[in-house]
C-alpha cells in the first residue's frame, strides 16, 4: 500500500484511477482494459508530479525526507555493496540496532559501511529506535572507524536520523561525550570518509557521522541543527509555524550547497526516491565510486588536511579566515570595515573619552 503526503492528494486520486483501469473486472464483470486511457492518465500523473516536485517548499521537502516509503540505509547497503559483514557491539555496554555497521566491497574495494536505520514497519522501527542512536551506537562506530583507519579502509556513512536519542539511560551512559568522540574520530581519520544524507540529517546525531571529506545529499533530504517543529516551538512557541521555521533554517540540499556546507546533490527520481529505489541506489553507488576515485593518490596527511580545510572553510566569508596555511591551524576573525572600527573604538574608548574632554575644555577656554 502506497503512502501519500498531504500535497499529493491529486496524485493519489489519479493513481487510484489507473489501478481501477488496469483491473480486468469492471462494475459489470470482466471488461477490456483501456490502455489508451491508462496511458493518458499516467501522463497526467507525471505532469502533476513535475508540477508539484519542482516547486516544493522547505517544509514539504522535510515531509518527503521523512516519507514512510523512502528507501532506508539497509536497502542501500544490500543494493550497493557486496559481501557485507555485519559487526555489532561497542565492547562496553551492548549493541545499538539503530545503526548498521560492517565491512563490504564496492567496485571490488573494501570499505567500512555505517548506516543509521529507521526501520521499514512498526516493529522494526521500534527495534531500530526510529533511527535515534544511543551512546553504544556511536561507540560501535568509533571502534570500527579506528579499525578501518588502521587498515587504511575508506568509510562510507548513510545518514538518516531525527537526532540522537535523548532518553535518560542514554544520557546516563554518556550520550554527549559519545557524540563528541565520534566527531573527533571522524575528523582525525587518515582515510577518505564519505557521508550520504538519504533522509533526515538531524543535529548532533547526524554530524557525529557526517564530519567527512565529502558530504553528499539526496535532492529531497534535509540537514539541520534542529527540526522545524522544534525551532518553531522555541522561537514562536507555536509548532504550527514549521513552514516559516523550515524556510529560515536553510535545511534543504540546495540551500546547503549554496552555503558550501555540503559538496554534492544527487537528483531524485520524479516524485522522490521512493518512486524508483533501484535508480537512486544506482546513482548513489556511482557517486560513491566517483568520490573514492577523487582521493586516489592522496597521502594520509593530505586526506586529513583536506577534511580539516573543508570544515574550516565553512562560513569563512563572514567569520573565521585563514591568515596562513590550513595546516598551521591559525585562525583570525575576518570582520567588515565597520566592525573593525567599532572594535577599535570599544578597545580604546577611555582614551577617546579623555581626548574628548580635553578638546571640550580647550574649546570652552577659547570661547570665554
Residue 325, pLDDT > 50, answer no
146 and 267 housed in the same domain? yes
Asked whether residue 318 is assigned to any structural domain, the reply reads no
How far is Cα 15 from Cα 86, in angstroms, rounded to an integer? 39
> In total, how many domains does the chain have?
3
Considering the domain architecture, whether residues 51 and 148 belong to the same structural domain is answered as: no
| Contact yes or no for 208/155 (Cβ under 8 A) | no
Other beta carbons within 10 angstroms of residue 120's beta carbon come to 15
In a domain? residue 225: yes
Q: Could you tell me which residues come within 8 angstroms of residue 70 by beta carbon, excluding any fewer than 6 positions away?
A: 64, 198, 199, 272, 273, 274
Q: Check whether residue 341 and residue 286 sit in a common domain.
A: no
The string of pLDDT tens digits covering residues 23-60 is: 765 555 445 556 788 888 888 989 999 999 989 999 99
Let me know: does 43 contact 11? Beta carbons within 8 Å: no
**CB 93, CB 175: distance < 8 Å:** no
Indicate whether 155 and 232 sit together in one domain: yes
109 with 239, same domain? yes
For the chain, the first-to-last Cα distance in angstroms comes to 94
In the predicted structure, residue 353 carries a pLDDT above the cut 90: no
Dihedral sign, CA of 250, 210, 56, 238?
Answer: negative
**CB neighbours (10 Å) of residue 366?**
7
Same domain for 102 and 46, yes or no, is no
Least confident span in 19-23, 38-42, 196-200 = 19-23
pLDDT of residue 328: 45
User: Which domain does 175 fall in, by range?
Assistant: 64-296
Q: Mean pLDDT throughout 217-234? A: 93
Count of H helices and E strands in the chain?
Answer: 16, 12
Residue 333 has pLDDT above 50, yes or no: no
Both 158 and 222 in one domain: the answer is yes
Calculate mean pLDDT across residues 158-187.
94
CATH number at residue 227: 3.90.226.10
Q: Using CA atoms, how far apart are residues 26 and 4, in angstroms rounded to an integer?
A: 25
pLDDT band, very low/low/confident/very high, at 356 (cuts 50, 70, 90): confident
Distance (Å) of CA 265 to CA 62, 180, 217, 223, 293? 16, 27, 5, 12, 18
Q: Are residues 154 and 226 in the same domain?
A: yes
pTM of this structure: 0.82
Question: Domain check: are 139 and 288 in the same one?
Answer: yes
Question: Residue 122: how many CB atoms within 10 A of its CB?
Answer: 8
Name residue, grid cell 582521493: 295
Local confidence band at 20 (pLDDT 50, 70, 90 cut-offs)? confident
What's the rounded Cα separation, in Å, for the pair 100 and 337?
Answer: 50
Task: Tell me, yes or no, whether 361 and 219 share the same domain.
Answer: no
Amino acid at each position: 500500500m502506497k503512502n501519500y503526503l498531504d500535497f499529493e492528494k491529486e496524485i493519489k486520486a489519479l493513481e487510484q484511477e489507473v489501478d481501477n483501469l488496469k483491473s480486468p473486472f469492471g462494475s459489470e464483470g470482466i471488461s477490456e482494459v483501456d490502455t489508451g486511457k491508462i496511458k493518458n492518465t499516467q501522463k497526467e500523473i507525471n505532469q502533476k508530479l513535475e508540477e508539484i516536485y519542482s516547486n516544493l517548499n522547505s517544509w514539504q521537502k522535510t515531509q518527503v525526507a521523512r516519507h514512510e516509503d523512502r528507501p532506508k540505509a539497509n536497502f542501500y547497503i544490500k543494493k550497493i555493496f557486496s559481501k557485507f559483514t555485519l559487526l555489532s557491539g561497542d565492547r562496553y555496554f551492548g549493541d545499538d540496532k539503530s545503526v548498521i555497521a560492517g565491512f563490504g566491497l564496492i567496485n571490488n574495494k573494501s570499505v567500512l559501511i555505517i548506516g543509521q536505520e529507521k526501520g521499514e514497519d512498526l516493529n522494526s522501527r521500534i527495534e531500530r529506535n526510529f533511527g535515534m542512536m544511543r551512546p553504544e551506537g556511536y561507540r560501535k562506530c568509533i571502534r570500527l572507524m579506528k579499525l578501518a583507519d588502521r587498515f587504511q579502509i575508506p568509510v562510507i556513512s548513510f545518514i538518516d536520523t531525527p537526532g540522537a536519542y535523548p532518553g535518560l539511560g542514554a544520557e546516563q551512559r554518556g550520550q554527549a561525550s559519545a557524540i563528541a568522540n565520534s566527531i573527533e574520530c571522524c575528523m582525525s581519520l587518515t582515510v577518505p570518509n564519505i557521508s550520504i544524507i538519504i533522509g533526515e540529517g538531524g543535529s548532533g546525531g547526524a554530524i557525529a557521522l557526517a564530519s567527512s571529506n565529502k558530504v553528499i545529499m539526496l535532492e529531497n533530504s534535509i540537514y539541520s541543527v534542529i527540526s522545524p517543529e522544534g525551532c518553531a516551538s522555541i522561537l514562536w512557541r507555536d509548532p504550527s509555524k514549521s513552514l516559516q521555521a523550515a524556510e529560515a533554517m536553510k535545511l534543504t540540499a540546495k540551500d546547503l550547497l549554496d552555503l558550501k556546507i555540503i559538496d554534492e546533490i544527487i537528483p531524485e527520481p520524479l516524485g522522490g526516491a521512493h518512486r524508483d529505489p533501484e535508480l537512486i541506489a544506482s546513482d548513489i553507488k556511482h557517486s560513491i565510486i566517483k568520490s573514492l576515485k577523487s582521493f586516489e593518490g592522496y597521502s594520509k596527511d593530505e586526506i586529513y588536511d583536506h577534511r580539516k580545510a573543508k570544515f574550516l572553510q565553512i562560513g569563512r566569508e563572514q567569520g573565521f579566515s585563514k591568515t596562513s596555511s590550513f595546516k598551521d591551524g591559525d585562525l583570525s576573525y575576518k570582520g567588515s570595515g565597520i566592525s573593525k572600527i567599532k572594535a577599535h573604538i570599544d578597545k580604546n574608548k577611555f582614551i577617546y573619552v579623555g581626548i574628548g574632554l580635553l578638546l571640550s575644555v580647550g574649546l570652552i577656554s577659547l570661547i570665554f
